[in-house]
Structure 1
Amino acid sequence: MAFSISPLLANSAIICVLLVLFASHRDAAAATGYNCYKSIINFGDSLADTGNFIRMSNPENKGATPPYGETFFHRPTGRFSDGRLIIDFIARSLGLPFLRPYLSAENGEEESNFEEGVNFAVAGATALHISFFQERGIVNDMTNTSLGTQLDWFQKSFCNSIHSADCKEKLQSSLVIMGEIGGNDYNYAFFQGFPREEISSFVPKVISTISSAITKLIEFGARSVVVPGNLPIGCIPAYLSHFINSNQSDYDSSTGCINWLNEFSMSHNEQLERELSRLRELHPNTTIIYADYYNAAMELYSSPTKYGFKNTLSACCGAGGPYNYDADAECGLESRVCDEPSSFVSWDGIHSTEAAYEVIAQGLLHGPYTSPHVNGLCILEGSRFQISDH
């Protein structure tokens, strides 16, 4: 395959303003000397989990069984997709390897060495502590892991003391990605029939929890933090199936998404952006980047053919129904897989396909969907559709 080499003019004040050459793998990037970050430290839920959940749950759970992973890895890896996730594309674009799940070392599978990155994300995780939901009768039957749990893991494995000079040095040379986290705080409640008004009252608490986690990481030494927003949940097959109705005014006529659910996502994101602006004022020496997952994803629904998608609202892997999603027959159980996952936005009705995640990642890395823009993060230019990790 021929590779195009082009300069990237990076004029933001994010971390390092460099001209970088495209490379197809980590070794080539290291040879150029353009690796601005030595590692990525990632937190979150199933949108970013690269294998923690399957190491702490029933091994027959989805993510650990076919057809998950079939497109790229050709086997289940614990990623809730047919292939790579947004975090995978970000890592490779920065010249870094795929992130190892934290629990791979805890389970004795590998040496406890996270020099090039570590992933604390767990599928099903919430921002708020499990007790918040238990007090309200909301059931999380996947995991009791919260963002607080992940921060505890971080301190245990990466930074034992907030006064550690070694810790600060590690964090200053790392890119910290805070999520996506918070989506499950709403998902469980919505799918269990709690009123929209009550769930809306969770949003400030979720934002405050995320903000506190960012502040703690900055105190430990973090200098570059990416904070993703929520996706447009009104376009997700699981939500479309759960809230299906005949009232056409509930739906966006151009995309088929449910308007009020997307408005909920936008409200979360607006409150998150305001809080990040406050944190920037408090911590002027830290670059805090908002990753606009919402609008990056909406590109897929508003202009699907531009990106090669033929089906935006149905799951590739499912058991039938209007959106090919059945909560009682999820992907990997009594389900069928579409012939071309790359033509679908949704993989299993909740999570996206590798193809969709790549478009979102490229919108963040090379497009307009970060604030401030990330074009100073020493990205390997030309990475779209060209990096091969087989």
Structure 2
Amino acid sequence: MCEENGHVVEFEHGMNYAVAGATTLSSQLLVDEGIQNLMTNVSLEVQLRCFKQLLPSICGTASGNAIFVIQLPLTKFSNLIGHSLILVGEIGGNDYNFLIRGGKSIDEIKSLVPLVVKKIVSTINELIETGAQTLVVPGNLPLGCTADHLTTAQGSENEEYDPTTGCLNRINQLAEYHNQMLQKELNHIRDLHSNVNIIYADYFNAAMQIYRFPYKYGFTNGALKACCGGGGPFNYNSTAPCGYEYATMCDEPYTYVNWDGVHLTEATYKFMFEGLFQGPYTTPAFKSLCSLSSHVGVGISTY
């Protein structure tokens, strides 16, 4: 909530800058890597710029219909930002997804992980400079468990798969490599800004508990097959994705972990939420630092 000229503006449900298909790296950098089929040219840098440009319209000074963004110092909004919960991500997954679909090897993609993490870190530092005091930074999800990658990888050798979950080992190892590098950098930020709460959200393991024991959570249709899709062993077809004419939707989405081959179902996210905000999958423990009801949320992420 902020007050300007006697008028109170409330953002009880936060602001979300997510864009479908958004990447951490710029679209031009990915094009330079030979990736042409991007869903959007919106990167993390673009989302951050939009966030900064909108701040004056929340608590800024307007003249007629014009809001002078450049002339207003961002420190003017440090109180609002300092009392907000800022979610930076989950982002980075699309960078890797596009590279995998573009035929890049896991070793080639690993060489770009430091660039992805560096961009996330620079975004966090800019938000701190703006006045951010509490930031949640998620790691990547288990990318090797998605129906789209599993469909593409059909026919791979057995050793490519985790015998417990059926997920693709090398792609999940890529996600874990990203997460390990990100956590190392977050520790460095904590050392530099001891007054700022940097909360790492372990999306990977919050989701993996469900992939390992789907029936325990009521997912009687398993963890790997999509609810909505175009057929095949994993109900995923890139030429008939969810929402297209020839795609079909299951009758009981709450019994599926995967929604459309790429995203998870609402039921899955509910269990992940409980593990993150009430359980062990944040560092430090989220509930030890702040209350959900007392913060405004601001999200910069993928979708």
After TM superposition, the score normalised by the length of structure 1 is 0.67
> Whole-Å Cα distance in 2 between the matches of residues 218 and 344 of structure 1?
38
Corresponding residue for 2:163?
Answer: 253
1:114 positional shift: 6.3
Corresponding residue for 2:201?
Answer: 291
Q: 2:29 aligns with which of 120, 125, 132?
A: 132
Q: 2:136 aligns with which of 226, 230, 241?
A: 226
Corresponding residue for 2:278?
Answer: 366
1:188 has 2:101 as partner: no
1:320 has 2:217 as partner: no
1:192 positional shift: 1.3
Residue type of the alignment partner of 2:139: G
Deviates more, 1:345-354 or 1:300-309: 300-309
Residue type of the alignment partner of 1:330: P
> Whole-Å Cα distance in 2 between the matches of residues 209 and 114 of structure 1?
30
Q: How does 1:53-64 map to 2 (within 5 A)?
A: none
Residue type of the alignment partner of 2:182: L
1:303 has 2:303 as partner: no
After TM superposition, the score normalised by the length of structure 2 is 0.86
1:250 positional shift: 1.1
> Whole-Å Cα distance in 1 between the matches of residues 146 and 195 of structure 2?
37
Residue type of the alignment partner of 1:355: A
Q: Deviations over 1:201-243 (max 9, x none)?
A: 1100000000000000000000000000001111110010111
Corresponding residue for 1:378?
Answer: 291
Conserved 8 A contact 1:316-1:341? yes
Q: Deviations over 1:19-55 (max 9, x none)?
A: xxxxxxxxxxxxxxxxxxx59xxxxxxxxxxxxxxxx
Q: Deviations over 1:263-316 (max 9, x none)?
A: 111000000000100010011110000000000000111111221112110000
Corresponding residue for 2:265?
Answer: 353
Q: Helix, strand or coil: the match of 1:176?
A: strand
Moved segments of 4+, more than 2 Å: 113-116, 159-166
Residue type of the alignment partner of 2:45: G
1:163 positional shift: 4.1
Q: Helix, strand or coil: the match of 1:312?
A: coil
> Whole-Å Cα distance in 1 between the matches of residues 74 and 169 of structure 2?
48
Residue type of the alignment partner of 2:46: T
Whichever structure has more helix as a proportion of its residues is 2
Tell me the C-alpha RMSD between the 2 structures: 1.6
1:115 has 2:17 as partner: no
1:378 positional shift: 1.2
Q: Deviations over 1:53-81 (max 9, x none)?
A: xxxxxxxxxxxxxxxxxxxxxxxxxxxxx
1:125 positional shift: 0.5
Conserved 8 A contact 1:236-1:346? yes
Corresponding residue for 1:143?
Answer: 40
Q: Helix, strand or coil: the match of 2:257?
A: strand
Corresponding residue for 2:181?
Answer: 271
Conserved 8 A contact 1:230-1:269? yes
Q: Helix, strand or coil: the match of 1:153?
A: helix
> Whole-Å Cα distance in 2 between the matches of residues 246 and 259 of structure 1?
11
> Whole-Å Cα distance in 1 between the matches of residues 94 and 146 of structure 2?
13
**Aligned residues with identical type, % of pairs:** 46
Corresponding residue for 1:4?
Answer: none
Residue type of the alignment partner of 2:133: R
1:134 positional shift: 1.5
Gaps of 5+ in 2: 3-8, 57-68, 294-303
Conserved 8 A contact 1:163-1:220? no
> Whole-Å Cα distance in 2 between the matches of residues 303 and 205 of structure 1?
34
> Whole-Å Cα distance in 2 between the matches of residues 122 and 165 of structure 1?
27
> Whole-Å Cα distance in 2 between the matches of residues 137 and 258 of structure 1?
24
1:178 has 2:88 as partner: yes
Aligned residues: 270
> Whole-Å Cα distance in 2 between the matches of residues 180 and 118 of structure 1?
15
Gaps of 5+ in 1: 1-37, 40-112, 381-390
Deviates more, 1:207-216 or 1:165-174: 165-174
Q: 2:53 aligns with which of 156, 170, 182?
A: 156
